[in-house]
Amino acid sequence: MSCGNPALILGNNPATAAHLSVYSLPGRPTQFRAGHMRNDPTLVGDAAKQPVTVAANCLLVKNAGPNQNLTILCDAGSGLHLPAATRSKLGIPDRDLLVENLAMLGVSLADIDIFISSHPHWDHIGGILDETGNLRLPKAHILLSRGAYQQNMENPAIEGQPSSFIPGMPEKLQALKQAGRLTLLSGDPSGLGGEGITCNLLGDAVRFYFSGGHSECQMHAVFLTDAGGVVFGGDFFPTAWHVAPERYMPQFDRDPKQLANEKELFLQRVRTGHWHISFYHDPQVAAARVLVGGPERYSSLIMGEEVRV
C-alpha cells in the first residue's frame, strides 16, 4: 500500500530554496472501513464495510523561523507500537515511509528542530517512536496544545486495551517537559476566525489555531509566506471530501455539530488568507485551496490548485 512521495505545496524550488518551503510528506498509512471515515449516505451495506486506504500526509517545513534556519515536522503517522496482528489488520506497513520520504528531501529525523503535534492520537504521533517506544527525535522541541496534553495525562492508554492514545506517552511527554523540550500552547475554538496565536520559537510567520469537534484541543499550524499560506489540518479536514462543514467521520469525531460550526468559522479565515489546506488522511490530494461562491456557501465547494500525492 503506497500513498505517494513528498510533494511541494508552497515555496521555492528545493534546489535553490532560501525561504520557507512546505512539503506534504507521507508516513505510514492505515486502513479503515469506508463507513468509519465519512458520513456519506451513498455508503450503505457492503460498501460501508469496504476497507479504504487512510493516508498519513505529514508536513515538512524547511527554512522556517525568524532566522530561516529551522526544520519543522508536523505529525508523524503511525508507529510500530501496536502488536503485529493489529498492524496487519489495520494495513500498517513495517516499511518506514516517514524516514524514506524525509531522505528524498535530504532530511533525517536527527535534523528536525521542531515537532508540531496536532493531537497525540496514535496515527498522528506514533511515528516519532521506535519499535521499543523510545523517541526518534534526538534534538527536536515539541509543540502541543495544553488541552491535548492534559487530556492524555488524564486518560492514559492501557496496554492491550483500545485507545486513541499510546501506552506510556504521558510519561514521555512529562520527561520532555522536564527537559525543557516541550512547549504547551493554549487556545480555544473561539479564535478560529482571527489571527491565531504565535510562538516565540517560530515567530510571526507561523500561527496556531485550535478546534474541539474532532478531539479536545486539536491544534492547527498555519505557515505563512508572501505567496499565501498552508494550514496543517490534522483531523479537522482529514480529506478533501471533509472540507464541507456537514461532513464528518462518524466513528472518530467527538461532536459533529461543534465541528461543523468550527469549520464554518475557520473556512472564512482560510478563504480571506488564500491558504492551502493540507489533508492528512487523503491518499490522493495532499493539499488544495478552497474556492467558494460566497462566504456562507461552503456546501458547494470547488477545490483549486490541488497538490496531488
pLDDT tens track for 63-99: 999 999 999 999 999 998 888 998 999 999 999 999 9
The pTM of the whole model exceeds 0.85:
yes
Taking residues 170-190, what's their average pLDDT? 96
**pLDDT: is 17 or 266 the higher one?**
266
Alpha-helical regions (H) of the chain: 34-37, 46-49, 84-90, 97-104, 122-125, 146-154, 169-178, 256-273
100-156: per-residue pLDDT in tens?
999 999 999 999 999 999 999 999 999 999 988 999 999 999 999 999 999 999 988
Q: How confident is the model at residue 308 (pLDDT cuts 50, 70, 90)?
A: low
Q: How confident is the model at residue 18 (pLDDT cuts 50, 70, 90)?
A: very low
Domains in the chain, start-ordered, CATH in brackets? Answer: 7-308 (3.60.15.10)
CA 33 to chain centre: 20
Taking residues 239-253, what's their average pLDDT? 92
Provide the pLDDT for residue 304: 58
Select from 71, 75, 85 the least CA-distant residue to 14: 71
The C-alpha atoms of residue 165 and residue 121 are separated, in whole angstroms, by 5
Provide the pLDDT for residue 162: 72
Provide the pLDDT for residue 15: 47
Provide the pLDDT for residue 297: 41
Cell numbers for 134: 523510545
Q: How confident is the model at residue 221 (pLDDT cuts 50, 70, 90)?
A: very high
Q: CA 170, 176, 179 angle in degrees (round to 5)?
A: 140
The C-alpha atoms of residue 66 and residue 199 are separated, in whole angstroms, by 11
Per-position DSSP letters for 4-26, written without gaps between them: ---EEEESS-TTT--S-EEEEEE
Provide the pLDDT for residue 303: 56
